[in-house]
């Protein structure tokens, strides 16, 4: 589900970026409470989710005969959202795994098949990127909201 373009940031504690090696990025949000999280994210059951990823829409260029001629991927891949006092190691890893999968959908390099087949250094590149993301997000969440 795409992210909400306009947000009520009255109860936003922190917002920052995590960058992919491909020059694309995710915005990361930490919300004050469940209500502000629910109001500013999509595709969650109210009062249930403790974190989520909402993706950026993909633009399709379509020819006059209706065939897709090109997919345009934005620099912002999407958004990762957390709630004060509800995040933990499992939730951070879970949401960043969704973010990584979204990165594969929106990026050409490295290709998912290259990572699975261990072509060149594709697997290492992705593992290091995921490690950087996890470290950055977990440390920043801990700084903003020590549990």
pLDDT of 91-145, one tens digit each?
999 999 999 998 888 776 777 777 777 888 888 988 999 999 999 999 999 999 9
107 found inside a domain? yes
Q: Provide the β-strand partners of residue 2.
A: 55
Task: Residue 103: give the domain boundaries.
Answer: 12-144
Q: DSSP label at 17?
A: E
27 found inside a domain? yes
Residue 128 has what pLDDT? 92
User: Could you report the per-residue pLDDT of 6-55, keeping only the tens digit for each?
Assistant: 999 999 999 999 998 778 999 999 999 999 999 999 989 899 999 999 99
19 found inside a domain? yes
33 found inside a domain? yes
4 found inside a domain? no
Residue 42 has what pLDDT? 94
Q: What is the mean pLDDT of residues 69-83?
A: 88
**Cβ-proximal residues to 54 (8 Å cutoff; 6+ apart), any chain:** 1, 2, 3, 4, 41, 42, 43, 78, 79, 81
* pLDDT for residue 72 is more than 70: yes
Residue 137 has what pLDDT? 98
Residue 41 has what pLDDT? 97
User: What does residue 59 show for φ and ψ, rounded to 5 degrees?
Assistant: -90, 130
Determine whether 18 is exposed, middle or buried from the number of CB atoms within 10 Å of its CB (0-12, 13-18, 19+): buried
Q: What angle do CA 17, 44, 90 make, to 5 degrees?
A: 60
120 found inside a domain? yes
43 found inside a domain? yes
Domain count, the chain: 1
Q: Provide the β-strand partners of residue 78.
A: 26, 55
Q: What is the mean pLDDT of residues 46-65?
A: 89
20 found inside a domain? yes
């Amino acid at each position: 589900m795409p992210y909400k373009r306009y947000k009520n940031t009255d109860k936003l504690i922190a917002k920052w970026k995590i960058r992919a090696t491909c020059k694309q990025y995710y915005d990361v949000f930490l919300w004050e409470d469940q209500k502000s999280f629910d109001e500013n994210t999509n595709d969650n059951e109210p009062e249930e989710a403790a974190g989520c990823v909402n993706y950026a829409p993909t633009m399709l260029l379509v020819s006059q005969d209706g065939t897709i001629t090109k997919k345009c991927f934005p620099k912002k891949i999407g958004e990762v959202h957390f709630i004060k006092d509800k995040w933990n190691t499992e939730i951070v890893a879970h949401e960043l795994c969704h973010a990584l999968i979204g990165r594969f959908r929106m990026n050409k390099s490295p290709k998912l098949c290259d990572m699975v087949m261990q072509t060149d250094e594709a697997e290492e590149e992705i593992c290091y990127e995921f490690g950087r993301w996890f470290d950055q997000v977990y440390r920043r969440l801990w700084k903003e909201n020590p549990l």
